[in-house]
Structure formats: structure tokens, C-alpha cells
């Protein structure tokens, strides 16, 4: 039996894949761009880890179906793939908001929908949804990201009550701020640069960094 993890080329996904493989688990590490899997592939080869790398864009329903054809042989999925849009609410055009929800909410839903028929018949399975502390409290200029994580948490809670009696566990993880490279990939609208929102967001970030330095001292 294997554990499938989305967004495994970096950050929490990569760390989880390597950690689980080092514990003797068979891991399926998925990512949109296979060329970004060289690092995890190299580590797996050096350490003799059981990691299979598959291409998966969680926004592509057909690719999700193909990737999970062997759902019967998968014991758990970790919905980790995601990204953040930094923008004021007034800057959130429909396309931006849709892209945020497509990856962070509909992506996990597509995987869940695909494995559930097989797992309910089998009577076992674990679904791990990686949310964020933003799923509890929405900071400024993270409205779309926080909305996607709030929605993921609601979906997870509802799902728990629907499938727990069938032997399927639903777990929700709410990480805080970690140095994973996540913030380097934040997407911003064209109207962001030089706006008053950018200035206020920078001030807010500096305040957070000061708090981090105090907590670390």
C-alpha cells in the first residue's frame, strides 16, 4: 500500500515524502512539473527510498483520474499542493479568485471524489488535507488564500462526519509560518506593484518578522 502526496517537489510535500519513505512507507510523490523532481529523485536513489514520482496537476480532472487508477493500492492521500495570491479584496478579479479555489479547494476535492468509491467499498483509507493557520484567521491581503483554506476546512469537517463510520479517517493540518519557499511563489495582480496595498502589506510583514524574532529569542 502507498501514500500519495500532491505538491511533493518542495516544502511540506517534499519533507513529508522523504520522511514517510525513510520510515519504510511506499510513497507516490506527485508534482505538476516532473523536471522539478530531480532533487527528491536524487535523494531517493542515494538512500534507497521507495518513492515513485508521478506527474499530476490537481486542476486537471482527467490527470487526477489517471494518477489514481490504482486507488485500491493507495492507503492515504495527502492534499498538500497549493499556492497563495497576495492581493487586496478589491483587486481580486474573477480569474484570480477562480485559480486560487481551483488549486486549493477543487484540487483536493477531485482527489477525494476519485478515491472515495474505492475506499468506502474497501472500508479503509486516510485523507490528509493541508490547510493553514489562515484557515482560522484571515490576515490582510490574503483574502483569497484564507477563503480557500476556510472552505477546505469546512469540506474536511463535513467529510469526516460522512465517512468516519466507513473506516475512513479525515485529518486536517493547519501549519503556521515556516521557511519552506512557499512565500517565494506568491502570485500578485498587475495592479499590486507600487500600490498603497503593497506598502501596507510590507509594513504588516515587517511586524510579523519582528514577532518571529521575539519568539525565537
Question: Does 141 qualify as catalytic in the annotation?
Answer: no
Does 65 map to a domain? yes
**pLDDT score for 198:** 82
Does 197 map to a domain? no
**Residue carrying C-alpha cell 506527474:** 55
For the chain, give the mean pLDDT: 91
pLDDT tens-digit profile of 198-212? 878 877 777 666 655
CATH code for position 108: 3.40.50.720
Does 204 map to a domain? no
Higher pLDDT, 176 or 25: 25
CB 106 within 8 A of CB 60: no
Does 213 map to a domain? no
Domain span at residue 125 reads 57-190
pLDDT tens-digit profile of 56-105? 999 999 999 999 999 999 999 999 999 999 999 999 999 999 999 999 99
Over residues 165-185, the mean pLDDT reads 78
Does 150 map to a domain? yes
Confidence of residue 169 (pLDDT cuts 50, 70, 90): very high
**pLDDT score for 199:** 77
Count of domains for the chain: 1
pLDDT tens-digit profile of 17-44? 999 999 999 999 999 999 999 999 999 9
Does 21 map to a domain? no
Q: Phi/psi zone of residue 194: left (φ > 0), alpha (ψ -120 to 50 degrees), beta?
A: left
Catalytic residue among 12, 141, 145, 182: 145
Does 159 map to a domain? yes
Over residues 5-15, the mean pLDDT reads 94
Amino acid at each position: 500500500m502507498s501514500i500519495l502526496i500532491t505538491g511533493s517537489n518542495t516544502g511540506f510535500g517534499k519533507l513529508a515524502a522523504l520522511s514517510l519513505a525513510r520510515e519504510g512507507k511506499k510513497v507516490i510523490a506527485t508534482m505538476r512539473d516532473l523536471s522539478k523532481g530531480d532533487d527528491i529523485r536524487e535523494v531517493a536513489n542515494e538512500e534507497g527510498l521507495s518513492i515513485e514520482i508521478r506527474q499530476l496537476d490537481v486542476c486537471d480532472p482527467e490527470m487526477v483520474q489517471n494518477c489514481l487508477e490504482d486507488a485500491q493500492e493507495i492507503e492515504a492521500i495527502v492534499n498538500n499542493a497549493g499556492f497563495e495570491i497576495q492581493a487586496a479584496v478589491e483587486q481580486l478579479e474573477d480569474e484570480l479568485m477562480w485559480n486560487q479555489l481551483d488549486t486549493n479547494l477543487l484540487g483536493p476535492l477531485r482527489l477525494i471524489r476519485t478515491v472515495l468509491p474505492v475506499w468506502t467499498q474497501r472500508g479503509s483509507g486516510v485523507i490528509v488535507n493541508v490547510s493553514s493557520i489562515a484557515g482560522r484567521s484571515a490576515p490582510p491581503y490574503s483574502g483569497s488564500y484564507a477563503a480557500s483554506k476556510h472552505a477546505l476546512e469546512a469540506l474536511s469537517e463535513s467529510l469526516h462526519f460522512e465517512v468516519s463510520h466507513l473506516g475512513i479517517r479525515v485529518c486536517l493540518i493547519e501549519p503556521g509560518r515556516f521557511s519552506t519557499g512557499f512565500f517565494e511563489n506568491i502570485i500578485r495582480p498587475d495592479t499590486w506593484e507600487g500600490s498603497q496595498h503593497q506598502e501596507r502589506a510590507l509594513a504588516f510583514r515587517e511586524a510579523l518578522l519582528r514577532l518571529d524574532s521575539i519568539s525565537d529569542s
